[in-house]
Copies of this chain bind each other. A is one copy, B any other.
């Protein structure tokens, strides 16, 4: 039995290229005691992965050439010498960009069993996984979302943003999303629970925020940073919360971000806060979030959006789509 994997071959300079990776094939070795073999079903991409590929980006250890590309996936246990993980179990964790992975059950792999709820297992990488948890804890805990809050969301059709509209509704808050095309804006309103949408590539963002939220913004859920953050700061109400969730506009060269923030003083002047967070700090509350969100999906209160490519070879393209704004919903790749 053979495994195929993508290993790091070059460090990206701007966008991700197929040639930044090399496809390798290897025999799958026999399992040792305590190990189990996972057949990867779906792999996930996230902007942070670009940093794994860089040297000295300051997030985790940089990868070395020849290392299997890091990334989370969901898979099925197909062979096991570990009593905790049985053949047939669906698991989620650090799979890497490959078709099979041997896991020893140590915390490094952050591997846990997926609750099989009759939904696609891919949801364990999206709405019922880290992406959904990021929406949930970002909005509810960092953003302290409450009834009637005016919630503004950037990259609202992205993996994280695509859950925030419904999550805001569930609290009785009003969400308006920003996206890059009219088609995405339509999706925000028709499917993703947003009360309104702003096409930031062709509309006047400040005017549109005033239109939807004449009294101002209570929560700005920021997935992009830079210029849009700067505009949003001018629209904060008193005691607003700016959830610093992502900075994809600045990810092309993180150590030298090219945008300087003009309106930082609005944070102090409006008695607001601007806060970053790390999703694993909420780890002990993941089961509650997963349970609630699964319930809301069943009840029809939460819909989710996945953007699926097919085949391991599509991983570089999948990652690139995040930076070229092509993905609509959580970007995934079906591997097997």
Binding site for B on A (CB under 8 A): 58, 225, 229, 244-245, 247, 250, 254, 257, 260-262, 264-265, 267-278, 281
Contacts and interface: CB of A to CB of B under 8 A. Distances in A.
7 contacts: A244-B267, A247-B268, A260-B262, A261-B264, A271-B276, A272-B276, A274-B274
A94 B224 CA distance: 44
B276 A267 contact: yes
Contacts of A268: 225, 244-245, 247, 276
A245 B247 CA distance: 26
A270 B265 CA distance: 20
Contacts of A58: 269
Tallying the copies of this chain within the complex gives 2
Given A257-B262, A261-B261, A262-B260, A274 B269 contact: no
Contacts of A272: 275-276
Contacts of A267: 244, 274-276
Contacts of A273: 273-276
A276 B269 contact: yes
Which residue of A250, A254, A262, A268 has the most chain B CB atoms within 10 A of its CB atom?
Answer: A268
Given A272-B276, A275-B272, A276-B270, A265 B247 contact: yes
B277 A271 contact: yes
Given A225-B268, A257-B262, A273-B273, 12 more contacts: A58-B269, A225-B264, A225-B265, A229-B264, A247-B268, A250-B265, A260-B262, A261-B261, A267-B274, A267-B276, A273-B276, A275-B275
A38 to B, nearest CB: 30
A154 B198 CA distance: 40
B274 A278 contact: no
A220 to B, nearest CB: 13
Contacts of A245: 268
Contacts of A244: 267-268
A254 B269 CA distance: 10
A23 to B, nearest CB: 33
Nearest to A278: B271
Nearest to A260: B260
Contacts of A277: 271
Nearest to A250: B265
A44 to B, nearest CB: 21
Nearest to A243: B268
Contacts of A265: 225, 247, 250, 254, 257
Nearest to A251: B265
A245 B225 CA distance: 24
A256 B58 CA distance: 34
A48 to B, nearest CB: 11
Nearest to A270: B276
A161 to B, nearest CB: 16
A275 B261 CA distance: 16
A238 to B, nearest CB: 8
